[in-house]
Chain A
């Protein structure tokens, strides 16, 4: 069914929507260490394009949004605005073309209701809203309500719960929010294109308890992302198939809420509650606030059992975390993404630090002063009590074992030779794209990412997986470190909630309800799924290009009173 969605997407592009006659910019990127080879994509400093790959292009038709529309004729994208909705309310949500200006250059991109991020939807826990979605972009689309345990028909999962909404079409979603927390919405067809081009937004579901989180002076929504650019040009996407299929597209321009430079002003001693969402296609972030203390409060679908101080916040694609940060002293606090990149030519780790923005703290004292509350690490007994109901299932054998791996065929010989040798070592998490040339040239026509059922050997959509509504499912995921290209996978399960109960046999001691879990290379991760919501629910890697290259299956939760399996 997914294949049908892709086919529809491709046929719409090739038949209806005009393609931009854009080719990657063949210009020298000015990186040191390069002599003589122009690179069509940006290469890391001190790295060169593989000689065997020079002159090659990915085997896809290049695509950028708008089909040649002059961005000057479009309205500029506006920042997200709060849309507070109550039970029974209706939202008109339109995906359309906008002008976005990145680093001084105008581009045609997408937006929900003209905003990037899309409207910040804020609803009380337990509310049900109606969202009338109108697709006015040049691709088929849909809206997936990420993490929300809603009715299956409104999940937005193209190929599983609905057909893609064609350009010009509409679809009505009924979205029920049973759990407090931080969620987001995005398309579920060609996420590798539509999401980075601007179709994403947050949903905050407020608990009735005003003391749900520890107190803060203010709240900030940070949707993290990136774009891949060469000078003033967007690197085109593949019209008929995703490119960057090996690692996913890792951008070189890091964005907060769609903009390159986030800025916030606060008073001395303020505690700010940040709602962080990783909306990037592939990049895993490691975010810190210039040394300001960080307290992690919650993740995807609940608070943690216990608040904890952390040095930084690690977010894989699609994950969310709620943290409190205290800014004690006047001055400027850089918001950093700091990782250790691998230089594959030198065989070394190299620090890579990007400044996502700045928090400026003035000398006026915060009122009220939440310092004492910040210092106290709360235990959330309600979360622990609920988790306790599931604890008896923690130690039983897994109900399902899935292995994450990859098949390839037809990749350039140089890529095959290099990677066969280079993957003697495989990092648990690849924070950056250390091999952009090989990655760019790989498409989903050559790379097939796989979820394999250990019991049957079936792969991806061929897995026949049924569980009974109300059951508790222990799922063991193993990320094969000996595949052609081992890589971490943020695994997302639609429509249910789950606990990460153990990693590599080590029990987790501070639990939180999740819908997306990072599975590092070589790791075995045990998830406990609360299969309470009937329907057909996708389980997939949230690296957009990995999903585009097949890495998904479906868990059928059969109704308690239905036929079952």
Chain B
């Protein structure tokens, strides 16, 4: 089962069976075959602001991110890498923003200014690479990834663009 399917299955089970539901600021991180034993999660905190919530001038949410990871293998075990680095990427993967270094345990990384994003952790040669180059070990989706499209639902077929 893919990570995405498992997330939907977890939500469906929670809705149907009354189990725990993911919080609105929680991101489950899923391992890739590069680090199958790794696990992790992230928590979004509103970036500091006089207004109680962090928002850009165009209305994008500003979040500080706290990442908790476990059983990350040594980066060098994956190749010529020394660090794990967290990135926020737009859902189409067109734009990536480096957030900071992640280690086993809890790491507070930089601020993301996006409403909807992928959180990706890669192995890299140093702590501040300009672009992501190494293999992905953990990844997750911002809670807004739960937004559903109803355009193809039979109820709306033919009446919505």
Q: Which residues of A contact B (CB under 8 A)?
A: 32-37, 46-48, 50-52, 286, 288, 291, 296, 299, 304, 308, 310-315, 321, 336, 338-340, 342, 344-349, 351-353, 418, 420-422, 424-429, 431, 481-482, 486, 500, 503-504, 506, 509-510, 512, 517-518, 520-523, 525
A520 B148 Cβ-Cβ under 8 A: no
Q: Which residue of B lies closest to A289 (CB)?
A: B57
Tell me, in angstroms, the Cα distance from A348 to B142 when the chains sit together.
13
Tell me, in angstroms, the Cα distance from A25 to B56 when the chains sit together.
37
Tell me, in angstroms, the Cα distance from A422 to B150 when the chains sit together.
9
Pick from A37, A427, A503: contact of B144, CB under 8 Å: A427
Q: Which residue of B lies closest to A523 (CB)?
A: B46
Known: A311-B56, A349-B115. A518 touches B46 (CB 8 A): no
26 intermolecular pairs with C-beta atoms under 8 Å apart: A36-B159, A48-B156, A48-B159, A291-B57, A296-B50, A308-B50, A310-B51, A311-B55, A314-B52, A339-B59, A340-B61, A345-B160, A347-B150, A348-B116, A348-B149, A349-B144, A351-B58, A424-B15, A424-B146, A425-B145, A429-B53, A503-B45, A503-B46, A503-B52, A512-B50, A520-B52
- Chain B residue numbers with a CB within 8 Å of A288 are 57
B24 A340 Cβ-Cβ under 8 A: no
How many residues of B are in contact with the other chain, CB < 8 A? 38
Known: A48-B160, A481-B23, A482-B21. A286 touches B59 (CB 8 A): yes
Minimal beta-carbon separation of B112 from chain A (angstroms):
14
A34 B46 Cβ-Cβ under 8 A: no
A522 B156 Cβ-Cβ under 8 A: no
Asked whether any CB of chain A lies closer than 8 Å to the CB of B11, the reply is yes
- Chain B residue numbers with a CB within 8 Å of A37 are 159
A522 B45 Cβ-Cβ under 8 A: no
Pick from A33, A336, A518: contact of B160, CB under 8 Å: A33
Asked whether any CB of chain A lies closer than 8 Å to the CB of B17, the reply is no
Pick from A47, A486, A504: contact of B46, CB under 8 Å: A504
Q: Which residue of B lies closest to A481 (CB)?
A: B24
Minimal beta-carbon separation of B159 from chain A (angstroms):
5
- Chain A residue numbers with a CB within 8 Å of B115 are 340, 349
- Chain B residue numbers with a CB within 8 Å of A506 are 45
Q: Which residue of A lies closest to B146 (CB)?
A: A425
A428 B61 Cβ-Cβ under 8 A: yes
- Chain B residue numbers with a CB within 8 Å of A422 are 148, 150
Pick from B57, B59, B146: contact of A431, CB under 8 Å: B59
Q: Which residue of B lies closest to A423 (CB)?
A: B146
B23 A424 Cβ-Cβ under 8 A: no
A51 B159 Cβ-Cβ under 8 A: yes
- Chain B residue numbers with a CB within 8 Å of A338 are 57-59
- Chain B residue numbers with a CB within 8 Å of A521 are 24
Q: Which residue of A lies closest to B63 (CB)?
A: A428
Tell me, in angstroms, the Cα distance from A321 to B147 when the chains sit together.
33
Tell me, in angstroms, the Cα distance from A279 to B126 when the chains sit together.
51
Known: A33-B161, A428-B24, A481-B24. A518 touches B156 (CB 8 A): no
Which residues of chain B from 119 to 161 have a CB within 8 Å of any chain A CB? Answer: 143-151, 155-156, 158-161
- Chain B residue numbers with a CB within 8 Å of A313 are 51
Pick from A50, A51, A509, A517: contact of B48, CB under 8 Å: A509
Tell me, in angstroms, the Cα distance from A521 to B51 when the chains sit together.
15
Asked whether any CB of chain A lies closer than 8 Å to the CB of B6, the reply is no
B159 A522 Cβ-Cβ under 8 A: no
Q: Which residues of B contact A (CB under 8 A)?
A: 11, 15, 21, 23-25, 45-46, 48-53, 55-61, 115-116, 143-151, 155-156, 158-161
- Chain B residue numbers with a CB within 8 Å of A427 are 144
- Chain B residue numbers with a CB within 8 Å of A304 are 50
A312 B116 Cβ-Cβ under 8 A: no
Tell me, in angstroms, the Cα distance from A47 to B151 when the chains sit together.
10
Tell me, in angstroms, the Cα distance from A340 to B144 when the chains sit together.
12
Tell me, in angstroms, the Cα distance from A543 to B86 when the chains sit together.
38
A312 B150 Cβ-Cβ under 8 A: no
Pick from A34, A347, A517, A525: contact of B149, CB under 8 Å: A347
Q: Which residue of A lies closest to B46 (CB)?
A: A503
Tell me, in angstroms, the Cα distance from A311 to B155 when the chains sit together.
42
- Chain A residue numbers with a CB within 8 Å of B51 are 310, 313-315, 321, 518
- Chain B residue numbers with a CB within 8 Å of A347 are 147-150
Tell me, in angstroms, the Cα distance from A288 to B58 when the chains sit together.
9
- Chain B residue numbers with a CB within 8 Å of A431 are 59
Q: Which residue of A lies closest to B20 (CB)?
A: A482
Minimal beta-carbon separation of B63 from chain A (angstroms):
9
- Chain A residue numbers with a CB within 8 Å of B23 are 481, 522
Tell me, in angstroms, the Cα distance from A48 to B161 when the chains sit together.
10
Known: A51-B156, A347-B148, A347-B150. A504 touches B45 (CB 8 A): yes
A428 B116 Cβ-Cβ under 8 A: no
Q: Which residue of B lies closest to A426 (CB)?
A: B24
B53 A345 Cβ-Cβ under 8 A: no
- Chain A residue numbers with a CB within 8 Å of B58 are 338, 340, 351, 353
Tell me, in angstroms, the Cα distance from A452 to B48 when the chains sit together.
28
- Chain B residue numbers with a CB within 8 Å of A308 are 50
Pick from A339, A346, A500: contact of B151, CB under 8 Å: A346
- Chain B residue numbers with a CB within 8 Å of A353 are 58
Minimal beta-carbon separation of B150 from chain A (angstroms):
5
Known: A348-B147, A349-B116. A517 touches B52 (CB 8 A): yes
If A345-B150, A482-B21, A504-B25 are given as contacts, then 20 extra A-B residue pairs at C-beta distance below 8 Å, sorted by A number, are: A33-B161, A48-B156, A48-B160, A291-B57, A312-B55, A314-B51, A314-B52, A321-B50, A336-B57, A338-B59, A345-B149, A349-B115, A351-B59, A353-B58, A422-B150, A425-B144, A425-B145, A503-B45, A503-B46, A518-B51
